[in-house]
Structure 1
């Protein structure tokens, strides 16, 4: 599969490159655009400040510019936290999208958003301070109404960015389970291609 993988609010750090390598080792072509243009941060608070300084519209513009040359190939959009939010926005706006893989993050869904049975998989901590239960329930229903085929996997006791080995949230058991399920999801998408 051709995957467009977006980084979290921490920026394009080694953990994102490691994730891309894991996906490549499974036979996928992966691109990892740097939406922060070389800047990385050490905390969520610093990341939010940087995100706000750049602006949501500019981040989406950068993401669209990165994806546009490859969208005719039928991309799987993927992302971590903030990157998941961005991936979701792009996937819902790309009629050729093959799938959406979200780790730790979702986004509002535009009124009138519509997809044709887009396969979506979300992996999220349980509880997650940035993705509360009420939000996820509403998000799930809205994605279903939009026409997506959604699976949600929750990881009790894990921290928000539990797949990042460089952060205190890291939970090896939950991370490995996430990767096992996510790679199966991508394998199914490739088989159904």
Structure 2
């Protein structure tokens, strides 16, 4: 694997300054860029580790604190290991942050993040990949719809409420997406029941979006997050294989898979 360098950065948005983590191969060359959207627990060591793993595979990765309007990360005090069944107060703090991040704000921020990456010396010219976890899967989908000319790959893992009945449901941006899309759903996930998976796939198919979705057996919401009780090592490794294959074929197709 390639050695990497990670650093904290601040990037301007229309509503202030977003703190973020940037990591990239430490070889002096620019590399394809990936925007990684956090889960609701926020920018923390686990997400930095995941970003570093992408960087080790040849990508420049930006992980913004999408709740920056409320302050710098961490906004919620978290234990080293998160067992949500024993810590319901964590979600009591997080829910207001989630609700404040409207679709309009997501799209406005997405433009700022992608513009920052376009100017980043460590990021190669060309399209960008986007991946997201839990709530981040929704943000990834909206980013692809808001900035289709800049996003070539979208991945979402254990995302919830991706195709709800709401008039602003994320799946309704499908007709604006030009990227290749991959979703890895958890089969033990009450936030994304089978009817929503079906609705999401139908919307992507009808829009002509190249996509694939899988339901990971035995996986719970949050299965990629090793610092939580939802972690599933087998499902997490499956996610890595699929994510890297997607990024390799869309962001550097002439180089083959890593």
TM-score normalised over the length of structure 2: 0.67
SS at match of 2:220: coil
The offset of 1:156, in angstroms, is 1.5
Distance (whole Å) between structure 2 residues aligned to residue 112 and residue 29 of structure 1: 26
More displaced stretch, 181-190 vs 129-138: 181-190
Answer whether contact 1:125 1:160 (CA < 8 A) is retained: yes
Query: Paired residue for 2:99?
Result: 52
The C-alpha deviation readout for 1:85-119, integer Å capped at 9, x for no partner, is 11111112222311101111135233682334x21
SS at match of 2:170: coil
**RMSD of Structure 2 on Structure 1 (CA):** 2.2
Distance 1:36 1:91, change over 3 A: same
Runs (5+) with no aligned partner, structure 1? none
Distance (whole Å) between structure 1 residues aligned to residue 146 and residue 105 of structure 2: 16
The offset of 1:56, in angstroms, is 4.7
Please show how residues 15-164 of structure 1 align to structure 2 within 5 Å.
15-37=46-68, 38-41=73-76, 42=78, 43-53=90-100, 55-70=102-117, 73-94=126-147, 95-105=149-159, 106=162, 108-110=170-172, 113-116=175-178, 118-164=179-225
Distance (whole Å) between structure 2 residues aligned to residue 53 and residue 93 of structure 1: 19
Runs (5+) with no aligned partner, structure 2? 1-31, 79-89, 119-124, 163-168
Task: State the aligned residue count.
Answer: 192
SS at match of 2:171: coil
TM-score normalised over the length of structure 1: 0.88
Distance (whole Å) between structure 1 residues aligned to residue 208 and residue 116 of structure 2: 26
Answer whether contact 1:163 1:175 (CA < 8 A) is retained: yes
Distance (whole Å) between structure 2 residues aligned to residue 33 and residue 112 of structure 1: 24
- Name the structure with the higher helix share: 1
- Name the structure with the higher strand share: 2
Answer whether contact 1:127 1:133 (CA < 8 A) is retained: no
- Structure with bigger gyration radius: 2
